[in-house]
Structure 1
Amino acid sequence: MSLVSYTKALNRALGDALAADEAVCVFGEDVGAGLAGMTLGLQSRFGAQRVVDTPLSEQAFTSVGIGAALAGRRPVIELQIPSLLYLVFEQLANQAHKFSLMTGGQARVSLTVVVPGSGSRAGWAGQHSDQPYSLFAHVGIKTVVPATPSDAYGLLTSAIADDDPVVLFAPAAALGVREDVTAPLGPVPLGSARIRRPGRDVTVVAVGHLVHDALWAAQELAGEVDVEVLDPRTLYPFDFPALARSLRRTGRLVVLDDANRSCGFAAEVLASAVEAVPLLAPPRRVTRPDGTVLPFALDLDRALQPGRDQLLDAIRSVMA
């Protein structure tokens, strides 16, 4: 048994991939120093030709990564701030994602983009605190949000091995999570959800770090409501059969999603559920408000994020 942190799990997964396949390489700002933790110590192990410190231009090194992937390599790009994804969205959604489709599979872009610290961090304010994962799920790019260290290792491993672009969001609020690991870490299939806690009364679908809040709520309500917690792990492709099986047991649904309400991932889960499974009560979602831009003031930042009290209220409302 060993205690593994979320960041260390990402670091180990990337190191194992670099060791196993010479086609794997890394591009990003300060990856040599490992400032975000994921690349710590890897440049000294594998050299500056494979773990490449880049100039301060996300569009430039994303283009280099796409070109490297087209040439047969498996690059991993690190973006330290989630809103930097807006700068490279065209390159990922309109170029990398479509090359394979538009060439009949003759071209492959085995590119992994990792954001090691998405969402809110204390005092990082509006341009550093977004959770834009719904954008990538919307356009059909494989999108993963691990909640635990073992899933961080397993999903990053599978993303690097995948022949299509994958974007992995590592929520800032999950980076400090530690897990007792009793078996060797291994890949986690993309598109596979996991029941974190079985229950009979209501299904709570929680994304990323919010899985831990959902488990807290389930414990808090034990004896009052039997809560099932479903961790999608992959937002696209979403494991809808797992959700449908859960809802056939519980008949009730709450989605906990740290993204803006309009057109968000929670809305898609609710819509898909009510289209396919008869529910005993109208479903609920707990999200950031519409159009949220998190402010610098920490109290205001926290007030705009989905909270535990909101989740308890939502669970009780679907039971009522």
Structure 2
Amino acid sequence: MSFRIPIRALAKGAVTRSAFRVQSMRFASSKTMTVREALNGAMAEEMDRDDDVFIIGEEVAQYNGAYKVTKGLLDRFGERRVVDTPITEYGLAGLAVGAALKGLKPIVEFMSFNFSMQAIDHVVNSAAKTHYMSGGTQRCPIVFRGPNGAAAGVAAQHSQDYSAWYGSIPGMKVLVPYSAEDARGLLKAAIRDPNPVVFLENELLYGQSFEMSEESLSPDFTLPYKAKVEREGSDISIITYTRNVEFSLAAAEILDKQYGVSVEVINLRSIRPLDVDAIVKSLKKTNHLITVESTFPQFGVGSEIIAQIMESEGFDYLDAPVQRVTGADVPTPYAKELEDFAFPDPDTIVRACKETLSID
């Protein structure tokens, strides 16, 4: 959903800033919103709120974004604030980091986060480390956003999940929205954050619709970088994020109906900072825990969660070892049948929960 206003109307002063509220009003007329609409609306409202915010990336302007997340923003804000670039992640990310160091607030769209590897020197060495290396004198308010992880049949070079990669970097914040409300509230918070934020979206969630609360439709709505209890439970905790929240909720339904198991599902929403308190709090209730992610098994988010549990009071509440459900330890296959085997699904999660609970 977008709200298109001709540039010439803006130039003539025919459209006031308050007219831009129409898009939020249109969203408010419905109780549901797709993740794509949530991201689009969040960026539009933050650009409306702060003239220093601009969007830069490949095909973000005239083509409305490769996934149409920036649809209508060029018509609304013009070429100065919605900037198309050549195919050069290293160049566009470096330009954006420089702009952020001078006080602007760029939103960098990577067409795929796999392509951020071309720009990783700017993301890690320049954006994440400068505040510390400058003795706290130089901020870098920038958001790097785009689709992350596997989609459907895009093969190994376009399917990697970078949550653990970027989550290991001091100075960087890493957010992983699941629902439309997550996407809207977390992106608005990220844009207002004076620190660099990596915002990892899921391509297959863009078109999914979610219920929205009245509070979330406000232009002032933001979310803290804290985990959310998506489903209350008492027998086992599933700690997960992004699209695997959907699979974990489906697994929880199966376990409840077939085995009478009460499952608590925790949506992390943030990889860095990691809400360890929420994880331990859930573990204290259930005494059993598994993690679910679509990263490679070695050095992943689940590994960090287990380490945090072992090093905290959470260890005293474990009645069984923690299990990790991860992607396969192979480059993502192109063939659909093999790709389906390579990532978690509800049945995989159900099996892990049954093993943890010693259910036959």
Q: How would you bin the TM-score normalised by the shorter chain? A: over 0.9
- The match for 1:178 is 209
1:266 matched to 2:296? The reply is no
* Match of residue 134 from structure 1: 164
The amino acid that maps onto 1:210 is: N
1:282 equivalenced with 2:321 (yes/no): yes
8 Å CA contact 1:8–1:37 kept in 2: the answer is no
Specify the code of the residue in structure 1 equivalent to 2:157. Answer: Q
Q: Aligned equivalents of 1:196 and 1:89: distance in 2? A: 33
State how far apart, in whole Å, the 2-side matches of 1:225 and 1:316 are. Answer: 9
Pair 1:188 & 2:218 matched: no
1:220 is displaced (CA, Å) by 1.0
> 1:120 Cα shift?
1.6
The equivalent residue for 1:240 is: 276
CA shift, 1:92, in A, is 1.1
Give the corresponding residue for 1:23: 52
How does 1:1-320 map onto structure 2 within 5 Å?
1-32=30-61, 33-34=63-64, 35-115=66-146, 117-140=147-170, 141-185=172-216, 186-190=221-225, 192-223=226-257, 224-276=260-312, 277=314, 278=316, 279-290=318-329, 292-320=330-358
Shift of 1:55: 1.1
Deviations 1:83-133 (A, max 9, x none): 112111121111111111111221110010001x22222221111111111
2:13 corresponding residue in structure 1? none
- What value does the CA root-mean-square deviation take over the aligned residues? 1.1
Q: 4+ residue stretches of structure 1 with deviation over 3 A?
A: none
Distance in 2, Cα, partners of 1:128 & 1:319: 36
d(CA) in 1 for partners of 2:203, 2:339: 14
Distance 2:40 2:355 in 1: 41
> Which amino acid in the other structure matches residue 165 of structure 2?
L
Count how many residue pairs are aligned between Structure 1 and Structure 2. Answer: 317
Q: Which amino acid aligns with 2:140?
A: V
- Structure 1 segments unaligned to the other structure (5+ residues): none
| CA deviation after TM superposition for structure 1 residue 232, in Å | 0.7
Q: Structure 2: which 5+ runs fail to align?
A: 1-29
Identity %: 31
What are the superposed Cα offsets for residues 54-101 of structure 1, whole Å, 9 maximum, x if unpaired? 111000010111011011111000001121121111211111111111
Superposed displacement of residue 45, structure 1: 0.3
**Displacement of 1:299 after TM fit?**
1.0
Map of 2:11 onto structure 1 = none
Superposed CA offset, 1:248-279 (max 9, x none)? 11111110001000000111111211222120
| Distance in 1 (alpha carbons) for counterparts of 2:151 and 2:280 | 34
Provide the rounded CA distance (Å) in 1 between the counterparts of 2:213 and 2:279.
28
CA distance in 1, matches of 2:192, 2:43: 11
